[in-house]
Amino acid sequence: MKKRTKYFLGAFGLAILISGGLISLVIWAWNSPEGTRLLLKTVSYFSPVRIDVGEVQGRLRDDLELRRVIIRWAEGEIRADRLRLKWEPAELWNRRVVLNEVSLEGVVYRDRAPETKKPLFPGWPPAPFWLTRIQGRIDSFSLRDLAYRRADQDPLELARLSARADWDGKVLAVPDCAFSGPWGNAQGSLKMGFTPPSLVLELKASLGRDYAGIDQLAAKLLLLPRDRLGEAPGKVEISGRKGDSENLFLESEVELTPAAFTWRNLRFGQRGRKGSDVLGTGVDHLLHA
């Protein structure tokens, strides 16, 4: 047998062994807590992200629970006391991601990224190409006890967040979302399109204390797609109340273009002042990309 043939057969046999080992690892990780732990360690070893997990319960194939999770990278880290994932992987064959439950508890996000000056309006975010090729939904998402820490600044805290969502390849819909923190409670809904851009946002909040005569806040933002690519006109309405009295309101026409977010005819009113202030009849404010 020629040496070249021997080398080829040896390399082919080695490739089969490696492939078989990888397939066995995936099957083991798919069906057992120990395999999932090893898979996370393998991902951590071959990527710039370090993943440490204290306890693994359940199976990656349907219902998985991780405790004492730490994810580190060069510019920050995330810690979570508990993470649970329930999903339907069989739907991946239909190019659908179906998450029955995603829940996290006791999350601390430490942001160590360097300070950078960002434009006030960086432009309407595009959807990644691969995301436009799939569909999906989240039946239940919940987050409890989140703290975001930036360097030595005071942490931003969120006591609870719950939501559900649906993605059809073009539009993200969040029909109901509720969250709370030290400042109060809020609930709302969101429908956001990427191509073409569009947005329907409604938000109502009950504040934990009186802020300048306001303990309730309601906001609406509407952007409707236009025939011209990347443009969407609309309006924004903000109302601040205390009890049955509206103590503050803000109204404006808005328009989105690929290069700017424009405010027109901005009207502002405050209790104790007669009438309302018209801050501009033309272009009031431009936020450029």
In a domain, 118, yes or no: no
Averaged pLDDT, 141-166:
91
C-beta atoms surrounding 229 within 10 Å: 10
Which domain, by its residues, includes 235?
196-289
pLDDT, position 266: 86
Residue 9 has pLDDT above 60, yes or no: no
pLDDT(246) > 70:
yes
150 lies in some domain: no
Q: Calculate mean pLDDT across residues 174-181.
A: 94
Q: How many domains does the chain have?
A: 1
Decide if 132 contacts 157 (C-beta within 8 A): no
Determine the pLDDT at residue 280: 44
User: pLDDT per residue over 71-91, tens digit each?
Assistant: 999 889 999 999 999 999 889
Q: For residues 231 and 233, give the distance between their C-alpha atoms in angstroms, rounded to a whole number.
A: 7
What is the pLDDT at residue 270? 73
**Domain assignment present for 249:** yes
Question: Is 123 within a domain?
Answer: no
Answer whether residue 88 is part of any domain.
no
Mean pLDDT calculated for residue range 160-184: 94
Question: Does the residue 241 lie in any domain?
Answer: yes
pLDDT of 105 strictly over 70: yes
Q: How far from 218 is each of 29, 58, 202, 208, 275, CA to CA, in Å?
A: 47, 42, 8, 15, 20
Please give the structure tokens belonging to residue 156.
Answer: 């931003």
Whether residue 229 contacts residue 236, with contact meaning beta carbons closer than 8 Å, is answered with no
**Average pLDDT value for the chain:** 83
**Does residue 235 form part of some domain?**
yes
- Residue 28 is predicted with a pLDDT of 66
